[in-house]
Structure 1
Amino acid sequence: MFSDFTAAELGAIFAMQGFAGLILFAVFVLMALGLAIIFGQMGVINMAHGEFMILGAYVTFMTSNLFANHFPDYFGSYFFFAIIFAFFAAALLGALVEWGMIRFLYHRPLDTLLATWGLSLILQQTYRSIFGAREVGVVIPDWLRGSYRVTDLIEVPINGIFVMGLAIFATIFIGILMYRSRWGKQVRAVVQNRDMAGAVGINSAKVDRMTFALGCGIAGVAGSAFTMIGSTGPTAGQAYIVDTFLVVVFGGAGSLLGTVASAFSISQSQSLLEFFIGGSMAKVLTLLVVVIILMFRPQGLFTLKVRR
């Protein structure tokens, strides 16, 4: 497998694929952060999480067209507005879904799985009816095009660096929100003991709705990042939902550090293996290794200590 390459070529391959893995890692982290909040904190299996990501991607596409047609002088900055719009669009839809469906299904994980799977099909058909079945792509601003040449064999795309920065910012923001803010303390109180949290005046229903909305909003931001590296279609989110669940379970449900570590290890493994053995076999081998590890450590890489 390695004998056909020189040492310099192998070094360049590992560097390029490693950075490609970092871009995939950024998308995984943004997707998994939202899913970890919903699944880890609320115990809700959201099979429509990929469709919330695609909502963010379509909002980014519409924002791109809006600025291109009506505000061409400010087109270079449209992506920052698109991130904000994508977050609030996905968060508002998430709050509506929690209010209209999820709140009746707490403590019934299989029911939430079936209900959100049905929701994913509805959203896919909605996107198909509004935007068409064909995939669409956004026009990347000039300052995000091109690449930095590190060596004669290694080039790093600028849009990939931006996506990485976005993922790092989102991770830090979620960490501060969950572990340093008053609202984050309320979320963790509800997770540890819902009845006692209610007894001290915490509105658990409001916390649940905001938590679900936040998780969906982060998925919308992941959709904005996704437009930098791929085209958007009605079913594009399904390609990431399995990997995202794998990241959350492998890292340890509800663990922010575990989510980041799991996303990094899985994305790097897939990226490097894809070059040598192909995409399908890379996914199979990665899944096999993760399943074997989970057999010996079913709680995942990191676990939260909760009083019983």
Structure 2
Amino acid sequence: MFGDYSIGDLGAIFAMQGFAGLILFSVYVLMALGLAIIFGQMGVINMAHGEFMILGAYVTWMTSGFFQSYLPSLFSGYFFVAMILAFIASGALGMLVEWGLIRHLYKRPLDTLLATWGLSLILQQAYRSVFGAREVGVELPSWMMGSKQVTDTIEVPINGIFVMCLTLAITMVVAWIMFKSRWGQQVRAVVQNRVMAGAVGINTEKVDRYTFGLGCGIAGIAGSAFTMIGSTGPTSGQLYIVDTFLVVVFGGAASLFGTIASAFTISQAQSTMEFFMSGSMAKVLTLLSIVAILMIRPQGLFALKVRK
């Protein structure tokens, strides 16, 4: 597999694929952060998480078109407005779904899986009816175009660097919310002991609704980032949902550090193997490796200890 390349060529290939893996890692982290909050903190298997991501992508696409048509002088900064709107739209829909559907299915994981799978199909058809079946793409501002030349053989796209910086910022904000803010303390209290948290005055239903909304809102931001590196279609979210679940389960549910570590491991493995073999074979080998590790350590890489 490596015999046809020189040492220098292999170094350049691994460097380029490593950076491509970092871009994929950024999308995985943004997707998995929201899913880890929902799955790890609430025990809800949200199979419609990819559709919340695509809602954020469509919001970004519409915001891009609006700025192009009505505010062309401000087009260079449209993405930051689009990211906020994507978070609000996906988060609001998530809170509505939690109120209308999920709150009736707590402690019934199989029912939540089936219900959210049905919801994903409904949302896909809604997107197809509203936006059409064809994939759409956003036009990047001029400052996101082009690439940075690292060496004579290695260059990295500017939009990829931006996506990675965005992921780092969002991760830091989520970590602060979950571990430093008062609301984050309430979330962790509900996870540790729901009955006792309610007994001391914490509104557990409100915490659940806001937690689900936060997770879906982060998925919306992931959708905004996704438009920087790919086109958007009604079923695009399903391409990432399985990998995102792998990231969460492999890293350990409710573990922020585990989510980041597993996203990095999986993205780098897939990106490197896809260069030397087919994409499907790379996914198969990655999946088999994860299954083998989970057979040895079923709680994931970084399990969070909670009171039973």
d(CA) in 2 for partners of 1:147, 1:6 = 25
AA matched with 1:170: I
Match of 1:150 in 2: 150
User: What are the residue-to-residue correspondences of 1:241-256 with 2, within 5 Å?
Assistant: 241-256=241-256
Q: Secondary structure at 2:305's aligned position in 1?
A: coil
d(CA) in 1 for partners of 2:228, 2:246 = 23
d(CA) in 1 for partners of 2:278, 2:260 = 25
User: What are the residue-to-residue correspondences of 1:183-202 with 2, within 5 Å?
Assistant: 183-202=183-202
d(CA) in 1 for partners of 2:207, 2:221 = 21
Q: Secondary structure at 1:116's aligned position in 2?
A: helix
AA matched with 1:106: Y
What displacement does 1:282 show?
0.3
Q: Secondary structure at 1:46's aligned position in 2?
A: coil
Pair 1:105-2:105 in alignment: yes
d(CA) in 1 for partners of 2:82, 2:157 = 21
Note the residue ranges of structure 2 that are not aligned, 5 or more in a row. none
d(CA) in 1 for partners of 2:67, 2:8 = 44
TM-score (norm 1): 1.00
d(CA) in 2 for partners of 1:92, 1:307 = 31
Q: Secondary structure at 1:134's aligned position in 2?
A: coil
Match of 1:74 in 2: 74
Match of 1:37 in 2: 37
What displacement does 1:7 show?
1.0
Match of 2:65 in 1: 65
d(CA) in 2 for partners of 1:223, 1:92 = 15
d(CA) in 1 for partners of 2:31, 2:134 = 23
d(CA) in 2 for partners of 1:66, 1:92 = 21
Q: Which aligned segments of 4 or more residues in structure 1 are displaced greater than 2 angstroms?
A: none
User: What are the residue-to-residue correspondences of 1:187-226 with 2, within 5 Å?
Assistant: 187-226=187-226
d(CA) in 1 for partners of 2:7, 2:225 = 34
Q: Secondary structure at 2:257's aligned position in 1?
A: helix
List per-residue Cα deviations over 1:122-175 (Å, max 9, x = no partner).
000000000000000000000001000011110000000000001111111110
Pair 1:264-2:264 in alignment: yes
What displacement does 1:104 show?
0.2
What displacement does 1:227 show?
0.2
d(CA) in 2 for partners of 1:304, 1:124 = 34
Q: Secondary structure at 1:8's aligned position in 2?
A: helix
Pair 1:168-2:165 in alignment: no
Match of 1:306 in 2: 306
What displacement does 1:306 show?
1.4
d(CA) in 1 for partners of 2:279, 2:168 = 26
Q: Secondary structure at 2:222's aligned position in 1?
A: helix
What displacement does 1:305 show?
1.7
Match of 1:240 in 2: 240
List per-residue Cα deviations over 1:188-229 (Å, max 9, x = no partner).
000111110000000000000000000000000000000000
Note the residue ranges of structure 1 that are not aligned, 5 or more in a row. none
Q: Secondary structure at 2:159's aligned position in 1?
A: helix
AA matched with 2:115: A
Match of 2:181 in 1: 181
Q: Secondary structure at 2:133's aligned position in 1?
A: coil
What displacement does 1:73 show?
0.1
Q: Secondary structure at 2:134's aligned position in 1?
A: coil
TM-score (norm 2): 1.00
d(CA) in 1 for partners of 2:190, 2:150 = 48
What displacement does 1:278 show?
1.4
AA matched with 1:206: K
What displacement does 1:307 show?
2.5
AA matched with 2:138: V
Q: Secondary structure at 2:37's aligned position in 1?
A: helix
Q: Secondary structure at 1:234's aligned position in 2?
A: coil
d(CA) in 1 for partners of 2:96, 2:306 = 30
List per-residue Cα deviations over 1:19-76 (Å, max 9, x = no partner).
0000000000000000000000000000000000000000000000000000000000
AA matched with 2:100: G
User: What are the residue-to-residue correspondences of 1:121-140 with 2, within 5 Å?
Assistant: 121-140=121-140
Q: Secondary structure at 1:156's aligned position in 2?
A: strand
Aligned length: 308
d(CA) in 2 for partners of 1:304, 1:283 = 27
Q: Secondary structure at 2:148's aligned position in 1?
A: strand
d(CA) in 1 for partners of 2:42, 2:279 = 33
